[in-house]
């Protein structure tokens, strides 16, 4: 006598157990995948900053060991390879265009972890008919900024320029710099992930949390660690999204090398702003 084989199916309980296991695995693995993607973006950004550093080092060799600088008199950029497409765009912040002949790629000015490289806090301005009102504008998407102490301002003798009299610039330490004038180039910040258009000691928190202006549409507070107990900065800086790369930023130094630094390792070089007893620096640097 033949017996018919009985087909056994999964019970509802078994299916629910399998689904629960998959959900648990997904909850464990998705953050790992997200971290892996961000690590890849961080490496891509580090490559960008390294290329810019090498470009600046080539510039330095061609210009008697002088670093490129911005222009207080706001000369026209003289190129249509911008979002403005107007060669007469008056630019105070133009170091990136002076380095372009060496890197030949505007795309490296954009960090893949920057959610808004056309953010106004970084100076993006694509006005096709610019005037002196646009002088602080940067007609290209940009995620990085240079140190005003190192890549300062030329053209400050021209009182008829868009920004007028710049005679204070040497006294403020913003005059053009030579390599020989930098005492510790391997620890002096040259350019980095940043949330504003120029990197300054007082605004170092925009280097620690480079995406802060993107998330909250306002600058991180000035004053370095002296602002750490102030609200809303005290609470907002706990938000991982305000940091460009895994709680830190990529930095290129005055000797051309680049590396990632955790936000807690980033200093301004100023004793008061860093809230510590250390030699006061005239340049944004590490101790």
Q: Is the dihedral of CA 72, 176, 45, 218 positive or negative?
A: negative
Residues 110-159: pLDDT tens digits? 999 999 999 999 999 999 999 999 999 999 999 999 999 999 999 998 88
SS (H, E, C) 71-93: ECCCCECCCCCCCCCCCCCECCC
Evaluate if residue 281 carries a pLDDT over 60. Answer: no
174 and 69 Cβ atoms separated by less than 8 Å: no
The vertex-148 CA angle with 159 and 284, nearest 5°, equals 150
Distance CA 22, CA 16 (A): 10
Q: What is the mean pLDDT of the chain?
A: 90
Distance CA 57, CA 249 (A): 21
CA–centroid distance for 263 within its chain: 13
Evaluate if residue 278 carries a pLDDT over 60. Answer: no
For residue 25 the two structure tokens come to 């695995």
Residue 282: what pLDDT? 45
Evaluate if residue 174 carries a pLDDT over 90. Answer: yes
Residue 5: what pLDDT? 56
Closest among 177, 81, 89, 170 to 132, alpha carbons compared = 89
For residue 19 the two structure tokens come to 């689904």
Residue whose entry in the numeric block shows the structure tokens 């040259």:
190
Residues 81-113: pLDDT tens digits? 999 999 999 999 999 999 999 999 999 999 999
Distance CA 184, CA 182 (A): 6
Residue 2: what pLDDT? 54
């Amino acid at each position: 006598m033949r017996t018919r084989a009985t087909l056994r199916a999964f019970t509802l309980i078994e299916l629910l157990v399998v689904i629960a296991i998959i959900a648990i695995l997904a909850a464990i693995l998705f953050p790992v995948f997200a971290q892996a993607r961000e690590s890849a973006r961080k490496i891509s950004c580090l490559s960008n900053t390294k290329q810019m550093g090498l470009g600046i080092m080539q510039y330095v060799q061609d210009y008697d060991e002088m670093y490129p600088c911005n222009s207080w008199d706001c000369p026209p950029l003289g190129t249509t390879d911008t979002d403005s497409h107007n060669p007469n765009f008056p630019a105070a912040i133009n170091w990136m265009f002076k380095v372009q002949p060496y890197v030949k790629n505007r795309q490296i000015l954009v960090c893949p972890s920057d959610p808004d490289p056309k953010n106004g806090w970084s100076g993006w301005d694509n006005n096709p008919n610019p005037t002196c009102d646009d002088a602080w504008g940067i007609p290209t998407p940009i995620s990085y900024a240079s140190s005003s102490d190192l890549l300062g301002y030329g053209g400050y003798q021209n009182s008829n320029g868009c920004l007028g009299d710049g005679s204070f610039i040497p006294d403020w330490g913003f005059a053009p710099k030579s390599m020989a004038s930098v005492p510790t180039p391997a620890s002096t910040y040259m350019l980095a992930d940043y949330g504003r258009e120029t990197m300054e000691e007082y605004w170092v928190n925009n280097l620690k949390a480079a995406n802060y202006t993107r998330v909250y549409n306002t600058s991180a507070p000035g004053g370095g660690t002296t602002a750490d107990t102030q609200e809303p900065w005290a609470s907002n800086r706990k938000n991982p999204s305000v940091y460009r790369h895994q709680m830190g930023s990529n930095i290129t130094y005055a000797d051309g090398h680049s590396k990632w630094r955790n936000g807690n390792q980033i200093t301004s070089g100023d004793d008061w702003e860093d809230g510590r007893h250390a030699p006061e620096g005239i340049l944004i640097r590490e101790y």
